[in-house]
A and B are shown apart, each in its own frame.
Chain A
Amino acid sequence: MSTKHRTVLQRMDALVWWTNSSDRVRQDMSEQPNEQKHGPMRWLPLLPMALGAGLIYSAIAFPVPLMSYGAAGGILAAASSIAINGPLGKSSIDDDEREAALRKNAFLFCLAFLAVANVVAGPGLLVAAALNEWPVKHVLSVAFALFIGNMMWFISLPTLYASWKLPKLSDDET
């Protein structure tokens, strides 16, 4: 079928190819050895992280209508796609001891970073809300932005950490 006459649902279905998730499922179900490459991504995860931080900043600086957060779904899907194709993207069941250690360290670093950031920023935002007498809508907007921002960082930061921890491979290793 030509791409011109696709229905909305068919177009949405086709978006799955873009995320590489379909290849992942096909590989997982195949009995052939997994040949999908999970190379380092040293810069790409910064994009969803920057968008997450920008979303939080914009929600604090000026109230964003809750409806506009629908766009966050697309950004979360893009962040997930980056993570799936990154060094931690393959199933953890297939990890050897080095990969398991890398995965553990990456998520521990991410959780520690987010814990400190939230512990510091949380009370600060509470004080700011009280001092500036934010309306309930604004508080809700900031709370939702914090949730989405945390999700983006939780998805992207481990990939970024693991990518920079991986030394460059020689040609016969890739």
Chain B
Amino acid sequence: MVTSNQTLKLELGQRSLLQRLKPIDWIWTALLLVGAFFVYSEYANLMDLYEKGILVLTAVTLLVMGFSWRALQLLTTLIALLSLFGLSRYGGDLAQAEQDFFLKFMFSSQSAIMWMSALYVMATIAYFGWLFSQIEFVGRVASSMTWGATMMGFVGLMVRWYESYLIGADVGHIPVSNLYEVFILFSIITALIYLHYEKRYETRSLGGFVLLIISAAVGFILWYAFDRNADGIQPLVPALQSYWMKIHVPANFVGYGAFALAAMVGVVYLIKNRVVARNPGGLMAKQLPELNMLDDVMYKSIALGFAFFTLATILGALWAAEAWGGYWSWDPKETWALIVWLNYAAWLHMRLTKGWRGAPMAWWSVIGLFVTLFAFLGVNMFLSGLHSYGEL
């Protein structure tokens, strides 16, 4: 018999955004504001109204992302500091890249990108090492190297941005204009999305697999730089001189990165599915994440990619309306973007309306990567059109 004497006390956590912020968040906000004002005061004369808008938008996005994922605060701050250090070593003279010790070995864009490449490859090995050994230290090294590689990748791009202005004031442009540059962007965005899931799902066991595809991208970067000598900074053709590039290209690569990640998760799903059926007690069956978690990551990643790819395609259409005289020209790149989009729309329909799950969806997400890859590279290699900026 329960008596009615129990007192009910509800203590709600501090849920409103302002209340949840810690001192570190305020420092972060202050740093970000200082940074944004610094960039504005330094470069406002080079920006048009839209670019100022993009700067504000970037700052706000970073702020919000930093609040919900504090690791980004450190990452951003380090990128800013190292990039500024790199810029200061140049002292306005591009030739310093070969002379200054720090530039030559660390922070010239070439060197930073080499560091990024090396770290990603080592991180891949470390992740697999961790997967099979389960030594916590190895896992930490793997994660740290991925963070470090991502940091160096961003530093490389920031410094490259500056280097382009050193070549000539009219040559300067954001480094997302050719295949070499966007492959770097692809690597660091994919890594960031992965790191986000690593924290959110508290597992490192996807790391090796996702970094495999990043290592492949790194392989391409190295081949492109050393075999093709295609890593030079080229001035922009008139069609690319637009603020649209600053948002269209990154949005696209969030899409590509997320789709690539989803495909690798699909691979893990299929492996897990198989090893569980064959050898449920085995190492792989134990180490790899649960199937429904994999399914969830795959869905989240495709949803994220789809959302950004939608945005990117729309931005592309708006840009085309300004540069090519029509929002849609059935140019091969446009058309393949549509095909990629339709493919994932169908994937999402099947999952959300028909409730499809499991291996077929995993296979489909792997196939999706090939469709995406064709839109990304195949079109440049095999088809010709208006979009022939990054040629192989």
A and B held together in a complex: no
B-side residues, CB < 8 A to A, are none
